[in-house]
Chains A and B, each alone.
Chain A
Amino acid sequence: MAKITINGKELTVADGTNLVDAAEEHGIDIPHYCYHPGLSIAGQCRMCYVEQEGNPKLQVACNMKCSDGLKVTTDSARVKDAVKWSLEFHLVNHPIDCPICDQAGECGLQDYYMKHGQYQSEMHEDKVHKEKVVDLGDNVVLDKERCILCSRCVRFTAEVSKTNEFGIFNRGDRSVIGTVDDKPLTGNYTVNTVDICPVGALTSKDFRFEQRVWFLDSAESVCNGCSKGCNVFIHHKKGRHIYRLKPRFNETVNSYWMCDKGRYTYKDSNYDRRLTHAKLLGVDLPHDEAISMWAADLNVFTSTERMDEIGVYLTPNQTNEELSALLELFVNKFKITKFFAEDVEGLVKADSAVDNFLLRSDPYPNSKGFLETLKKFGVKLGSLSDMAQSIEKQRLMHLIFVVPEGQRQITQLTGVAEAIRPDHFVVVLTPNRFAQELFASSLSIPTLSHFEKTGTVVNHGGLAQKISSNFKMFKEAFSIESVMKQLADAQSSGRKKERTGS
């Protein structure tokens, strides 16, 4: 621990903390562009000036480590003046096209101009113009004019993604950021450069012009792209449409980053890919009716002791809580014994980092939790080919598919879907419109997508992470837990009716 003094206030911080971070911890804002806690120090932007006691010149805070006795001032007139002129330098050739810039609203230039600038520009010279709308591959668009040459993206590609793509070319006011010959970015981590760019020079193609950021609300969750379980923010508008995912800092999992594949998993939650109404044979029906219909058919099996004719398909996309709710009812109450899934154990065994960074080969966010919960309920899993055969031989007559969003299960289940005959009763619990289309004859009940769920998922390292998004996109889509509860209620009231004969 080190005792330091900022603006006359004594603070205790960990030894060797970066001064910018230490100040931020205690609610003191030191403006900075080039400093990023996940990258090396560049000292490029000269925004973080502070006055250090015993030092005649202003110093950059980002290059200062806290140690005992450090005394700095961040709010003196001298510091304020220096920051102001640093900012003016950044704006000398900046196009200020905020109206068409996707960064507007979360832009470092805008924020610091309102806080530390607010001057009339003293430049009379015309601005130096540079290339706009440079296509850098599938994910990123570059606007060279807007760049303030902080070199964050350069350091990211050099130090983190190790793709070494960005560089600063030329000198003086002709300096431009770019890749060699404007080559497209490669690798699976390109959009992180968009996140760290403090201005609108690097913008995401996927989010381009989609929405102004001040309309977006934020929720916390965990990515469902793979077993890594990167922490994310979901940016949605009033819970009706998700616009993008942003990485959320977690030191032990993903640090400040996430991969591009995971970043686009939100698309499966939006309207065009969602099942929004309960459907029977592709025709909408009220949710209650769907549940009581399902309960009635289940009752036929349970009352005639034909539980071994019921088959359930599960995936590790479900949270621990969802799985517990499902198994509590299916195993403990209905005594169903036949469960099927992809070879999850195999996936877990073979799980490894695909590109030596974040993305892993196991595509499920909760494989470990899945296996554990199944073990707790003593469930043995059958393979999908077993399932298809049993269906073909009419040994399974009532089928329950719990299908998550995404395409993986759709391709996986085509074999099973082909085996189904009209006399099978098929129930699909899914947020996925394509799952309903795959089992066209089914009773499909909409559930929540991953990003609306509340619960726990366990990542590849055994770390249990809570997710709680607190928004619901469609009125008729319920969580698996509440669907199970509705089913249990409907089932017991159905049986009562049978017994009393009413």
Chain B
Amino acid sequence: MGFFGKLESKSYIIGILKGLTITGTHFVKNLVGLGDRPTIQYPEQRRKYSDKFMGVHVLTKKHDGEIACTACMLCATNCPAECIHIVAAQSPNPKVEKYPAIYEIDLLRCVFCGFCEDACPVDAVRMGRDYEMAELSERNFVVGIEYLKDRPQLQGKNISVFHEPDKIVKRGEKSASAPAGSKFAKAS
């Protein structure tokens, strides 16, 4: 070990100088706009997130605007944070048996793991893409059906795949996708 090596290991000054050089270089680079900047001018500038990003949940809808959820509580069962609260009831719509009278997610407890989405048998709950959450009170982070299905950010795109008209065969109707005469078509 030479003289400088000894000095380096003995004194912290050189370490500090090295660190400052790195900080300083970045400072100057960013100041004059050389190279890539790791920071962006949020909120004017936004990053593009992956399509797999898991943000605030979405409750999907059927074509008549009703939510697709059947209140089976599988999402609540699967949720590790126990933050989904559902109260099931008899639906006012005579064609539907069970529906959630209350469906609430406590977004502050949620860990955005997506287990609820995995558990749902009817594609009724999905992880959305929005991640910007700011509220004045904790209570406002407990979001209900109205917010989860109809918030403006969704632009009405949350139709459950189980309820797209050409994918589901309703009772007493011919399947739209099965060719006539096929054994999949309902014999009437």
Cα(A210)–Cα(B88), bound, Å: 7
Cα(A98)–Cα(B122), bound, Å: 12
**Do A133 and B73 touch across chains, with their CB atoms under 8 A apart?**
no
**A residues near B73, Cβ cutoff 8 Å:** 212, 215
- Among B70, B71, B90, B97, contact of A132 (Cβ-Cβ < 8 Å): B97
Q: Which of B60-116 contact A (CB under 8 A)?
A: 70-74, 77, 88-90, 97-98
In the complex, what residue of chain A is closest to B124 when comparing beta carbons? A99
**Do B183 and A124 touch across chains, with their CB atoms under 8 A apart?**
yes
A126-B186, A212-B77 given as contacts; is B171 within 8 A of A100 (CB)? no
**Do B71 and A209 touch across chains, with their CB atoms under 8 A apart?**
yes
User: 5 tightest A-B contacts by CB?
Assistant: A99-B72, A100-B98, A209-B88, A99-B70, A126-B186
Q: Does B121 touch A at the CB level, under 8 Å? A: yes
Q: Does B184 touch A at the CB level, under 8 Å? A: yes
Q: Does A335 touch B at the CB level, under 8 Å? A: no
Q: Does A119 touch B at the CB level, under 8 Å? A: no
**B residues near A214, Cβ cutoff 8 Å:** 77
A132-B97, A209-B89 given as contacts; is B77 within 8 A of A100 (CB)? no
- Among A98, A125, A209, contact of B90 (Cβ-Cβ < 8 Å): A209
Question: How many residues of chain A are within 8 Å of chain B by beta carbon?
Answer: 17
**Do A99 and B121 touch across chains, with their CB atoms under 8 A apart?**
yes
Q: Does A129 touch B at the CB level, under 8 Å? A: yes
**Do A124 and B97 touch across chains, with their CB atoms under 8 A apart?**
no
In this complex, the interface size class of chain B, counting residues with CB under 8 Å from chain A, is 10 to 19
A133: min CB distance to chain B, Å: 6
Cα(A214)–Cα(B73), bound, Å: 10
- Among A98, A125, A133, contact of B97 (Cβ-Cβ < 8 Å): A133
A126-B186, A129-B171, A133-B97 given as contacts; is B90 within 8 A of A208 (CB)? yes
B134: min CB distance to chain A, Å: 34
17 A-B contact pairs sorted by A residue (CB < 8 Å): A97-B97, A99-B74, A99-B121, A100-B72, A104-B72, A124-B183, A124-B184, A129-B171, A132-B97, A133-B97, A209-B88, A209-B89, A209-B98, A210-B88, A212-B72, A212-B73, A215-B77
Main secondary structure of the interface of A (DSSP, over half): loop
Main secondary structure of the interface of B (DSSP, over half): loop
Cα(A159)–Cα(B183), bound, Å: 44
Cα(A141)–Cα(B121), bound, Å: 24
**A residues near B97, Cβ cutoff 8 Å:** 97, 100, 132-133
A129: min CB distance to chain B, Å: 6
A211: min CB distance to chain B, Å: 9
A244: min CB distance to chain B, Å: 15
**A residues near B121, Cβ cutoff 8 Å:** 99
Cα(A214)–Cα(B186), bound, Å: 37
B59: min CB distance to chain A, Å: 15
Most interface-central of A132, A133, A208, A209 (chain B CB within 10 A)? A209
B100: min CB distance to chain A, Å: 10
Cα(A209)–Cα(B100), bound, Å: 10
**A residues near B122, Cβ cutoff 8 Å:** 99
In the complex, what residue of chain B is closest to A104 when comparing beta carbons? B72
Cα(A209)–Cα(B122), bound, Å: 18
**B residues near A129, Cβ cutoff 8 Å:** 171
Known A99-B72, A100-B71, A133-B97; further 8 A-B contacts with Cβ < 8 A: A98-B72, A99-B121, A100-B70, A100-B72, A100-B98, A132-B97, A209-B90, A215-B77
**A residues near B186, Cβ cutoff 8 Å:** 126
Q: Which of A95-135 contact B (CB under 8 A)?
A: 97-100, 104, 124-126, 129, 132-133
